């Protein structure tokens, strides 16, 4: 007998516009925080103990915030907006000011990808001025590292993921393009290692699990594509996962590599087991498209929640498959 479908733990209202980006800041310190980026350019900082918005940051001049992350501690926030800027925020001691800004020139929806390369040094990948271009810069110096432009015509870059593999010296970058293909770039060589036509439609989102060398990508179709990297850095497509309704706006693999969640255009969040991509749960609460997802990075695995932001201006928080013993039952 299957357990009844789960209900959300609680919901956060009051953002006042669709929620395009979510990021947890639970790592250190109390109380745990959740950052959300809205369609009207504001970043809300939610205190998850009081469940109220602690602070609202306005810095993208009304243009929608598409991506959020934190640098070394949650005192430094990095946000990407559709005003073609990436902003760095100083939140320490109650401040809320933009300390630095970077002009990307990208008019698309492609979210940035951040990679820590050393203490106090990061690489940031973002879509560039040209449609198919991905630029990589170093933070905090803002010095450009390289620009990756594919030779073939792949259309606009839709989503990227930057990571540092154990095997090769330089970082690798996965990019999904408008024509539905995925490309694996070697950043240090500036060359495409492998390409695969994963979808017939534009790739909307992807996530990659470096430890398992496997990834998953979504599009506007009724299926998810899963793929893996073999020893020679070649992309191998695997069996796709069928969905009930088409359209996926974000995919998120949880840090412990047990589950993956998808934000669906059908108002539902789906949870799959990561090992075999077996459907596990359908989280049904929102009344409009789910736009963003985030897994909590809390130290205690039991408190690692899933947050989903939707076009219905609400954020729902779910506690799912995070208690080891009670979930195996």
Partner 1 sequence: MMQSLTPDVEVRLSVGQCVRTLTTSNEKEEVTKTLHTLTSYLDDGPQSTITSAQRAEFSRAHYTRTLQFLISNINADWLQLLTVAQCTELWDGLFLRGPPDQTLLVLMDGISSMSSPSAGLDRLVSILERFLQSGRLTVLLWTRCQGKGLSDSPQLRETLLGRLVALPDLTANQLHHHNKTIFLPQQYYPLLARDMLTVLERTCQALRDRKDCSLTFVAQALGKACVQGHSGLVFGVLAPRLSFCTRSDMVWQRVCWKLLENVPERWLESVLTGMVQAVNRPDALSRIMGNLVLKNKKAQFVITHKLLLLQYKYETRVLSILLGYLAQDRERRPLLIQVLRSLCQAWANPSAVRHTPLEQQLYVSRALLLCVGLLSDAELQDLRSELLQCMLGGMQSHLDSSVVRVRRMGMVVGECLSSRMDVNGAKLKFEYEHDEETKELLSLMTPLSEEETEPLDDRLDLSQDVKGQTVPSQAVPSQAASVAQKSGADPDSELDSDDELTPYDMSADQEMSQAAPPRYLRDCLEAVLSSEDPVRVDLSLRAIEGLVRKNTSTAREVSVELSKVLLHMEDRYNTVGFLSLRQAAMVALTVTDSVPVTEYLTTEFYSMNYSIRQRLDILEVLIMSAQELSQPITDKGGPSKAIQRVTIDTPLYPGDDPIHWRQVVERRIQSKTKRLSKGVTHPPAKPTPNRYAPVAGHFFFPLLRNYDRPQVTFDLLGSDHLVLGRLIHTLGLLMHLSVNAPVATQMGRALLDFVWAVRYHVDQMVRRGVLFAVCSVFLSMPSQSLLVELSDQLFETRAWLAGMTRRMWLKRAQSRCSCSCSVCVNLR
Per CB under 8 A, 267 contacts partner 1: yes
Triad 254, 256, 262: Cα angle to 5°: 20
**Between 89 and 265, CB nearer to partner 1:** 265
Q: How far is it, in rounded angstroms, from Cα 113 to Cα 216?
A: 16
- Stretch of residues binding partner 1 (CB under 8 A), selected from 59-67, 198-206, 207-215, 278-286: 278-286
Member of 23, 85, 126, 268 binding partner 1 (CB under 8 A) = 268
328: phi then psi, degrees, rounded to nearest 5: -75, -20
Contact between 278 and partner 1 per CB under 8 A = yes
d(CA 207, CA 193): 18
User: Which is nearest to 81 in space by CA: 97, 104, 98, 100?
Assistant: 104
d(CA 68, CA 114): 10
Tokens 């060589």 belong to which residue? 189
Nearest CA among 100, 106, 107, 52 for reference residue 79 = 100
Query: Is residue 327 at the binding interface for partner 1, with CB under 8 A as the rule?
Result: yes
Among 63, 131, 228, 282, binds partner 1 (CB under 8 A): 282
State yes or no: residue 242 binds partner 1 (CB under 8 A).
no
For residues 90 to 129, the per-residue mask of contacts with partner 1, x marking binding by CB under 8 A and - elsewhere, is: ----------------------------------------
Residue 116 or 327: which CB sits closer to partner 1? 327
How near is the Cβ of 64 to partner 1 at its closest, in Å?
A: 25
> Does 302 participate in binding partner 1 (rule CB under 8 A)?
yes
112 vs 305 by CB, closer to partner 1: 305
Q: Is 320 in the site for partner 1 (CB under 8 A)?
A: yes
The residues, ordered by sequence, that sit 6+ positions from 60 with a Cβ below 8 Å of its Cβ are 41, 79, 81, 82, 83, 85, 87
Using the contact rule CB under 8 A, the part of the chain among 63-71, 103-111, 148-156, 318-326 near partner 1 is 318-326
User: Does residue 8 bind partner 1 (CB under 8 A)?
Assistant: yes
Q: Distance from CA of residue 79 to its chain's centroid?
A: 12
Select from 231, 225, 146, 233 the least CA-distant residue to 183: 233
Q: In the window 31-60, what residues touch partner 1 (CB under 8 A)?
A: 32, 48-49, 51
* Residue 50: burial class (beta carbons within 10 Å; 0-12, 13-18, 19+): exposed
Q: Restricting to residues 15-34, name those near partner 1 by CB under 8 A.
A: 32
**Site size for partner 1, by CB under 8 A?**
47
Q: Binder to partner 1 among 245, 255, 288, 299 (CB under 8 A)? A: 245
Q: Copy the structure tokens of residue 234.
A: 């070649």
Query: Distance (Å, rounded) from C-alpha 95 to C-alpha 81?
Result: 20
- Give min distance, CB of 321 to partner 1, in A: 5
- The answer to whether 308 and 10 have CB atoms below 8 angstroms apart is no
Residue (of 207, 317, 314) closest to 262 by Cα position: 207
Sole window of 59-67, 141-149, 213-221, 277-285 interacting with partner 1 (rule: CB under 8 A): 277-285
Any contact of residue 259 with partner 1 (CB under 8 A)?
A: yes
- Given a contact cutoff of 8 angstroms between Cβ atoms, the answer to whether 203 and 177 are in contact is yes
Residue with token string 């990227």? 160
Is residue 299 involved in binding partner 1 (CB under 8 A)?
no
The distance of closest approach from Cβ of residue 254 to partner 1 in the complex, given in angstroms and rounded to an integer, is 11
Tell me if 258 contacts partner 1 by CB under 8 A: yes
Tell me the closest approach of the beta carbon of residue 40 to partner 1, in angstroms.
25
Q: Note the residues at the interface with partner 1 (CB under 8 A).
A: 2-11, 32, 48-49, 51, 244-245, 258-259, 266-268, 270, 273-276, 278-282, 284-285, 298, 300, 302-303, 305, 319-323, 326-329
């Amino acid at each position: 007998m299957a357990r009844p479908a789960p209900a959300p733990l609680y919901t956060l209202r009051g953002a006042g516009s669709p929620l395009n980006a979510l990021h947890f800041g639970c790592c250190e310190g109390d109380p745990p925080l959740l950052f959300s980026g809205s369609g009207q350019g504001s970043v809300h900082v939610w205190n998850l103990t009081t469940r109220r918005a602690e602070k609202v940051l306005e810095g993208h001049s009304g243009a929608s915030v598409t991506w959020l992350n934190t640098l070394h501690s949650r005192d430094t926030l990095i946000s990407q907006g559709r005003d073609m800027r990436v902003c760095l925020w100083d939140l320490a001691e109650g401040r809320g000011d933009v300390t630095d800004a970077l002009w990307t020139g990208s008019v698309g929806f492609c979210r940035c990808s951040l990679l820590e390369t050393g203490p106090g040094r990061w690489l940031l990948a973002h879509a560039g001025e040209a449609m198919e271009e991905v630029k990589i810069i170093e933070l905090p110096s803002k010095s450009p590292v390289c620009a990756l432009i594919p030779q073939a015509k792949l259309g606009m870059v839709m989503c990227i993921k930057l990571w540092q593999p154990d095997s090769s010296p330089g970082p690798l970058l996965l990019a999904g393009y408008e024509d539905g293909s995925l490309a694996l770039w070697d950043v240090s060589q500036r060359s495409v290692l492998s390409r695969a036509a994963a979808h017939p439609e534009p790739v909307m989102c992807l996530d990659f699990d470096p430890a398992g060398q496997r990834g998953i990508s979504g599009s506007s179709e009724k299926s998810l594509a899963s793929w893996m990297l073999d020893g020679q850095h070649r992309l191998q497509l695997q069996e796709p996962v069928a969905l009930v309704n088409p359209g996926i706006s974000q995919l998120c693999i949880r840090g412990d590599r047990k589950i993956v969640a998808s934000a669906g255009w059908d108002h539902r969040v789906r949870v799959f087991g990561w090992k075999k991509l077996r459907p596990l749960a359908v989280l049904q609460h929102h009344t409009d498209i789910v736009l963003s997802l985030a897994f909590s990075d809390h130290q205690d695995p039991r408190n690692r929640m899933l947050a989903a932001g939707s076009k219905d201006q609400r954020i729902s928080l779910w506690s799912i498959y995070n208690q080891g013993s009670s979930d195996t039952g």
